[in-house]
Structure 1
Amino acid sequence: MAATPAPKPLDLTAKDTQSVAAYVKSGQPYVWLTAAAISVAFIITVALLCLTAARGMPHFWPADLLKAEYQEPGAEPVPLLAELISEEEVSTARLISAGLKLDDSQPFHTRDLIKVGNRDLYGADFRYLLDEWILNRSYPEDAVVLERMEWGNFHGFLEALKENGSVVATGEQAWTAYAERQRRADRLHHELREIEKGEIGSINYGLERVRLDTRRLELAGKTRENAAADYQKLDARKAELDASYETLRTRLVEIKTELARDSLVLKSVDGQELEIPLAKIARGYRPNAMGLFAKLGLYFEKLWEFVSAEPREANTEGGIFPAIFGTVMMVLLMSVFVTPFGILAALYLREYAKQGTVTQIIRIAVNNLAGVPSIVYGMFGLGFFVYFVGGSLDQLFYAESLPSPTFGTPGILWASLTLAILTLPVVIVATEEGLARIPRSLREASLALGATKAETLWKVVLPMASPAMMTGLILAIARAAGEVAPLMLVGVVKLAPSLPLDGNFPFVHLERKFMHLGFHIYDVGFQSPNVEAARPLVYATSFLLVLVIVLLNVSAIRIRNRLREKYKALDG
């Protein structure tokens, strides 16, 4: 058999070499490389969104309740009534090391994560069970899920409905009567929250103002003898507020009495009986008896509750509205602070400062500030804004509140200023790059027509640089929305009892602490005692935060492109 001849070496002619060199010189390879990088970044972003959505959004779906028996070899069967959360393949060796008695001839087994609920009865509401030991499976239509204000969900069967301790309905009639009475309890709960947080909150705020005004008079050396009129006004105001409070307190007692009227008698799958007042139930439903459209309606109802309600159960139940509100308000305040300072700094460096060594050093310093770890900004904000500036403001304007600080404590104002300094380099660099793109001939033409330098900057240069300015601002917003480390030092908290914006004068309370989506993710994911209950909420909150940041960046691109088209003729 003849030997295969060796391949001839590639013989590139001078013409081929010149073609390759011309192709590289044309920049086409770099265009394709850039397109590939953008495609990879886009795919990663979409994959991240899909992952968080797939892990978080199913949490709100009303899953069916599985009734079964769990029987380990040689043990008595244990009754179950639970939601099947997930399943996974686990090696036999790992299961044996966990204490399970298994035959090692099969390399892998399926393990299920189930939610049994009833934390007050069983201690833990999530369990890992071996799938092959779950026997006699069924899905009874009368199985009930109750979402409670505390102790998580209850899984069981409705036995009776009580009114003032007396049974008024049993069986199916009890479930029919429960739906109407739960709506009544929800209305009472809503009225109770409106009174406690709205009207009584305003009264407490007014009483605190009266106390501070009285203290202010005392610090000014005014006594009841030489300032009787001022003290009488404050006493009359306090008496009026006390009378209003007594009226509301009477109504609160009536509402709580009405809420305590109804209760449910339920039985768990293992026969334990429990009586739960309707005042402690947020929602009840029978998932196994619900059709597709009924489940879809409940799904969107729970999803709306997630974005519009307050959290409960150590942030593992309820909603995240205070965190959304705090994040948006902080970002808006940060934008108000960072925009003028960033644009003015860029204008000075590009249009007024003498281009020399000092200016170059300033630019290097600005670029280096963009790489400083965010926690360093948090330490600066705590020391300078909170302790120095805030403490000084308390001494000058809020002496009557001392030793309790007003501005000398972390709050949303100091958090916004800290993030404004953190994102300032981004705005400066983006604005300065936009100013550098404006042709010098346009400035000279404006000056030749009699405009001053300030008019030229305001009417010609800044409008044409606005796409770059907007891009820098939105990028700053996108970064600030996801920062957590500095906020832990300058204002963010696990749970804020009141929003920084309400109906009490001066309506915007910049000294208050606030909740933030990023910190909420950290708190629920790493500080929650119930890890399995917190995990889907971490994904759902992460999905919401990432979606907000993506929308901000898309908005930045659209705004930039519109501004470019608007000033395209001038730029040409």
Structure 2
Amino acid sequence: MRKWFKSGTPWIWMTGGAVSLSLIAVIGLFILIGWRGLSFFWPSSVYEFDMLDKQGGHYNLIGEIYDVETVLTEQLTAAGISGLQDKPETLQRYLIKIGNREYVDLDFQWVLETIIADRSKPKDIVVFERSKNGNFYGYIEDILQNGQSVDVEQAQFIDELRSRLDRAGALQVQQEKVVNGEIGSINFALEKIRLKKRKLDMDGLLTEQKLLELDVQSKKLSAKYQVLEEQLFSYRKQAQRDSVAVRDMSGRQVQLPLSEVIDFYLPNDMSFSAKVRHWLHQAAKFVSDDPREANTEGGVFPAIFGTVFMVMLMAVMVTPFGVIAAVYLHEYAGKNNLTKFIRIAVVNLAGVPSIVYGVFGLGFFVYIVGGSIDQLFYPEALPVPTFGSPGVLWSALTLAILTLPVVIVSTEEGLSRIPSSLREGSLALGATKSETLWRIVLPMASPAIMTGLILAVARAAGEVAPLMLVGVVKMAPALPVDANFPFLHLDRKFMHLGFHIYDVGFQSPNVEAARPLVYATSFLLVTVIIGLNLAAIAIRNNLREKYRALEH
């Protein structure tokens, strides 16, 4: 036994067991987050409850069972609920999502099983997904065109409603194209003309001829704007033509304009395959749509785009600086106190809290560097800042500094593993030191550089605290990339998946509605990080195989 312990075998098994347990825990957590998040898109059954009020009367409640929990009867009695003397020791209560926010105080209600007289799952209950006020639950009673009932047989209601909803959706797409495309470009061009006028005026170069030319350009753009505005109003009027009359749980008839309806479905009348198709459709919309309703509804596409764009920009910035610093420390710097001080500083940088980097980025990059850029190149826009406010560029630079020690240490380790005989052989053949470094050393160290980049991306993609100070916002109406010159707008603020999780989970006005979105967005963030890392790992493995022969 003593020889077995001295051989080190137990410690190998313990290490392997610890790694295995850690891997199982990580995979289990990932599966749990994915299950809680992705199950949100599955069409749940909608029930009609026959409820008892305090006077012994009856009323209806329509909604989804969101959660079920068991509570002690004593606990309920202590909370002031009466009439539970002859009840069992434990009772169930249901969290019901009833939607219809404009007609009820709370769209989520806890209901005790003792006040439920009966419940059923009618097949003709319809769930309407709307652009505002969340879901609406009820029964379709009529389809209206310009306020008049449409003569359609009852059996054709669903197909007719689907056709008219597709028409309203197509008109909505046309509106978005006009607003975000041509009207957006005209507004961008008008703002450029305004700034050009002011710059010429500040420089004393605004002659009557120049002013006349700019005014003519503005009038042409304004005329185009008027035409597009009339076209936009026409689309809106056409989209508001149709509506659907729905009977809600209280028996009242409510008219829902189809211009505000995104989708509808009958969850109690769907087959398994139809539910799978609906689940895939909802998951795709979550990835591709913009958020709405204070981020508690809709998708997260701007946050995905902002996260990936910022991380790629950060990688482009941190890699050359990290490699240059590592090359200097390993290949050129002498073994003196200055080099020791630099290495200590690099190690200490890795331990600085991320929020400190955010404060540094805000003070140095935004206020000093960005403010100086505005003074030199954009004085006509002041006092409105251009680069002197938080944006995606400063966020990428801040995270580049945050992850710089990781890249430096990893690159330096890769340089130290390259045999000195390769350097000496290259120099003996007449190559200069810089040629040896560029053609021999750095290519062989590229797998280690990629390893540092992988670690940097993994950390940067999940950081939130520094980004809150240097560029990330709750809602960014415009992406950093668009069709307006210079196409890449690094001064704009952006959305981020990590901040989106924080905002939805802790700042949402509707906690119950936001909870599944926290899981879904967390699962998506982890998936994005894994995707970025797998891409970098594939590149690293390719480079490792390419230069494996030189190592031997």
State the TM-score, normalized to the length of structure 2: 0.96
Deviations 1:224-252 (A, max 9, x none): 34xx1x22331222122111111101111
Alpha-carbon distance in structure 2 between the residues aligned to 1:272 and 1:536: 31
Matched, 1:47 2:31: no
Return the match for 2:12 from 12, 15, 31.
Answer: 31
1:270, distance to aligned residue in structure 2 (A)? 1.7
1:73, distance to aligned residue in structure 2 (A)? 7.2
**SS of match in other structure, 2:103:** helix
Alpha-carbon distance in structure 2 between the residues aligned to 1:90 and 1:280: 40
1:557, distance to aligned residue in structure 2 (A)? 4.0
Return the match for 2:451 from 471, 478, 484.
Answer: 471
**SS of match in other structure, 1:450:** coil
Q: Residue 328 of structure 1 aligns to which amino acid in structure 2?
A: V
Q: Identical aligned pairs, as a percentage?
A: 55
Unaligned residue ranges in structure 2 (runs of 5+): none
- Kindly indicate whether the alpha-carbon contact (under 8 Å) linking 1:160 and 1:169 is maintained by their aligned counterparts in 2: no
Deviates more, 1:409-418 or 1:558-567: 558-567
- Kindly indicate whether the alpha-carbon contact (under 8 Å) linking 1:147 and 1:284 is maintained by their aligned counterparts in 2: yes
Question: Considering only CA atoms, is the larger Rg found in Structure 1 or Structure 2?
Answer: 1
Alpha-carbon distance in structure 1 between the residues aligned to 2:79 and 2:33: 30
**SS of match in other structure, 2:227:** helix
Matched, 1:188 2:171: yes
Cα RMSD (Å):
1.7
**SS of match in other structure, 1:119:** coil
* Alignment correspondent of 1:222: 205
* Alignment correspondent of 2:101: 119
* Alignment correspondent of 2:423: 443
Return the match for 2:190 from 207, 223, 235.
Answer: 207
Return the match for 2:511 from 525, 531, 542.
Answer: 531
1:556, distance to aligned residue in structure 2 (A)? 4.1
Q: Residue 81 of structure 1 aligns to which amino acid in structure 2?
A: I
- Kindly indicate whether the alpha-carbon contact (under 8 Å) linking 1:169 and 1:177 is maintained by their aligned counterparts in 2: no
Deviations 1:332-367 (A, max 9, x none): 110111010000000000000001222122111111
Alpha-carbon distance in structure 1 between the residues aligned to 2:187 and 2:215: 15
**Are residues 32 and 369 of structure 1, via their aligned partners in 2, closer, same or farther at CA, if it must alter by over 3 Å?**
same
- Kindly indicate whether the alpha-carbon contact (under 8 Å) linking 1:116 and 1:125 is maintained by their aligned counterparts in 2: yes
1:125, distance to aligned residue in structure 2 (A)? 0.8
Return the match for 1:285 from 247, 250, 265.
Answer: 265
Q: Residue 72 of structure 2 aligns to which amino acid in structure 1?
A: S
- Kindly indicate whether the alpha-carbon contact (under 8 Å) linking 1:434 and 1:468 is maintained by their aligned counterparts in 2: yes
**How many residue pairs get matched?**
550
1:132, distance to aligned residue in structure 2 (A)? 4.8
Q: Residue 317 of structure 2 aligns to which amino acid in structure 1?
A: F
1:525, distance to aligned residue in structure 2 (A)? 0.5
* Alignment correspondent of 1:12: none
Q: Residue 58 of structure 1 aligns to which amino acid in structure 2?
A: S
Matched, 1:294 2:274: yes
Return the match for 1:130 from 112, 119, 122.
Answer: 112
1:296, distance to aligned residue in structure 2 (A)? 1.4
Q: Residue 335 of structure 1 aligns to which amino acid in structure 2?
A: A
1:406, distance to aligned residue in structure 2 (A)? 0.4
Matched, 1:89 2:89: no
- Kindly indicate whether the alpha-carbon contact (under 8 Å) linking 1:92 and 1:104 is maintained by their aligned counterparts in 2: no
**Are residues 425 and 349 of structure 1, via their aligned partners in 2, closer, same or farther at CA, if it must alter by over 3 Å?**
same
- Kindly indicate whether the alpha-carbon contact (under 8 Å) linking 2:450 and 2:537 is maintained by their aligned counterparts in 1: no
Matched, 1:143 2:125: yes
Aligned positions of 1:359-378 closer than 5 A? 359-378=339-358
* Alignment correspondent of 2:255: 275
State the TM-score, normalized to the length of structure 1: 0.93
Matched, 1:325 2:305: yes
Aligned positions of 1:242-391 closer than 5 A? 242-391=222-371
**SS of match in other structure, 2:149:** strand
Alpha-carbon distance in structure 2 between the residues aligned to 1:524 and 1:166: 41
Deviations 1:143-170 (A, max 9, x none): 1111111111000111111111111147
Alpha-carbon distance in structure 2 between the residues aligned to 1:391 and 1:104: 72
Q: Residue 167 of structure 2 aligns to which amino acid in structure 1?
A: R
- Kindly indicate whether the alpha-carbon contact (under 8 Å) linking 1:111 and 1:129 is maintained by their aligned counterparts in 2: yes
* Alignment correspondent of 1:9: none
Alpha-carbon distance in structure 1 between the residues aligned to 2:192 and 2:11: 66
Unaligned residue ranges in structure 1 (runs of 5+): 1-15
Return the match for 1:79 from 50, 53, 60.
Answer: 60
- Kindly indicate whether the alpha-carbon contact (under 8 Å) linking 2:197 and 2:206 is maintained by their aligned counterparts in 1: no
1:173, distance to aligned residue in structure 2 (A)? 4.3
Alpha-carbon distance in structure 1 between the residues aligned to 2:348 and 2:311: 23
Runs ≥4 residues deviating over 6 A? none
